[in-house]
Structure 1
Amino acid sequence: MSGTRDGGATGRRITEKVSADALRGATGRDWDGWFAELDAWGATRRTHTEIATHLREEHGVDGWYAQSVSVGYEQERGMREVGQSSTGDWNTSGSRTVGAPPDRVLDAFTDPGVRERWLPGVVLTERSRQPARSLSAGFRDASGEAGRLSVWLTALPDGRTRLGVGHEKLADAAAVAAYKAFWKERLAVLKALLEESP
């Protein structure tokens, strides 16, 4: 299954997430205006980095919007699908704010006994870790699906933690759609688990 113009199973295009009015207010042009500008510049023959750099350096578009316009253009012109990175890799992500400190949240990924309670059948092969801040690991689930997992933690002033999970190196657009739903459900289970027990 692959992404379609309306986002299909893999999610919404960035042009649907950022309105034409919001883009015009932040950058001076709407989506059609930027697409016409990039077409005239020959952006379909350029890399993602070249497009974003052109937008920043030649048009003064700030970093986040330069990336967004670049991705929107690439999706619109068939250079990438929703969920696909500029290198062709398939990725998804999820996030949640959890009522627990960062060290407990990270332990839920690294302690096999705790992990089995909310992420059953998943094997993580740790690559790097920064205590209470981040984790990088190989990922394999019971179906044999592999990938790479990146976990980021931000301690909030009220004792909660903002958790972000990036799942990279997925097989295709169908895997992106499946794992987007998977992480939404699993992170909700993790939140409940960590908030029910001290």
Structure 2
Amino acid sequence: MSDQALIEGTGANWQTWLELLDERGAAGLGHTAIAQMLVREFEIDGWWAQSITVGYEQERGLREPGQRPDGTFSASASKTLDLSIGAAFEQVADADVRARWLPDLELSQRSASPPKSVRFDASDGTRILVNLSARGGEKTAVQVEVAKLASAEESAAAKAAWKTRLERLAEAARA
């Protein structure tokens, strides 16, 4: 995030926020404690508090880019399909239909909110969240988030793998 955006949103630049957090011993605090301090002491919006906290943690070497507070990483990929949201949901949620475009990963469904989302545990130990959004007519955006990845390298590999998988989904939808 640029200094200008930060100044417009919070009234201070990165250097000021870094100094303020250092003065308050933020390097020894957890993510939630830092964000809560920013909201409480500086009365900034929660979104800005999260953004500043993540930036601080990255700047001080407490978190790698893309790393979540629990130390894991996530990855995401998306694709717009030429399908209604109901048909796209079936492609993702129905195990037999899904096996046609996703033969390389076994998913166990955790929960679903038809036709908008499905959560899975994957056979590789990751967690998968699929969100679907109608884009008008017979188009649906499918967004996949992969959680519980161990490293930035695994995140990059998961992103690439899911881009390929979503291409296969798009091909299956056209068939």
TM-score by shorter chain over 0.5 = yes
Runs of 4 or more consecutive aligned structure 1 residues displaced over 6 Å after TM superposition: none
**Under a length normalisation based on structure 1, what TM-score does the superposition of the two structures give?**
0.77
Question: Offset of 1:165 from its aligned partner?
Answer: 1.7
| Mapped contact 2:84–2:137 kept (Cα < 8 A) | no
Question: Offset of 1:43 from its aligned partner?
Answer: 0.7
Q: Which moved more, 1:119-128 or 1:52-61?
A: 52-61
Distance 1:157 1:62, change over 3 A: farther
Structure 2 residue 36 is matched with structure 1 residue 53: yes
Q: 2:97 corresponds to which letter in structure 1?
A: V
Structure 2 residue 150 is matched with structure 1 residue 171: yes
Structure 2 residue 91 is matched with structure 1 residue 108: yes
Question: Offset of 1:139 from its aligned partner?
Answer: 1.0
**CA offsets 1:86-145 (integer angstroms, 9 cap, x no match):** 0112222223343422222222222334323433311110111111021111112xxxx3
**Structure 2 counterpart of 1:33, from 16, 24, 39:** 16
Question: Offset of 1:64 from its aligned partner?
Answer: 1.9
Identity %: 40
Q: 2:19 corresponds to which letter in structure 1?
A: A
Note the residue ranges of structure 1 that are not aligned, 5 or more in a row.
1-17
Question: Offset of 1:158 from its aligned partner?
Answer: 4.7
Structure 2 residue 138 is matched with structure 1 residue 122: no
Question: Offset of 1:67 from its aligned partner?
Answer: 1.1
Give the RMSD, CA atoms, in angstroms.
Answer: 2.1
Note the residue ranges of structure 2 that are not aligned, 5 or more in a row.
none
**Under a length normalisation based on structure 2, what TM-score does the superposition of the two structures give?**
0.86
Q: How many residues align?
A: 175
Q: Which moved more, 1:168-177 or 1:88-97?
A: 88-97
Question: Offset of 1:29 from its aligned partner?
Answer: 1.6
SS of the aligned residue for 2:71 comes to coil
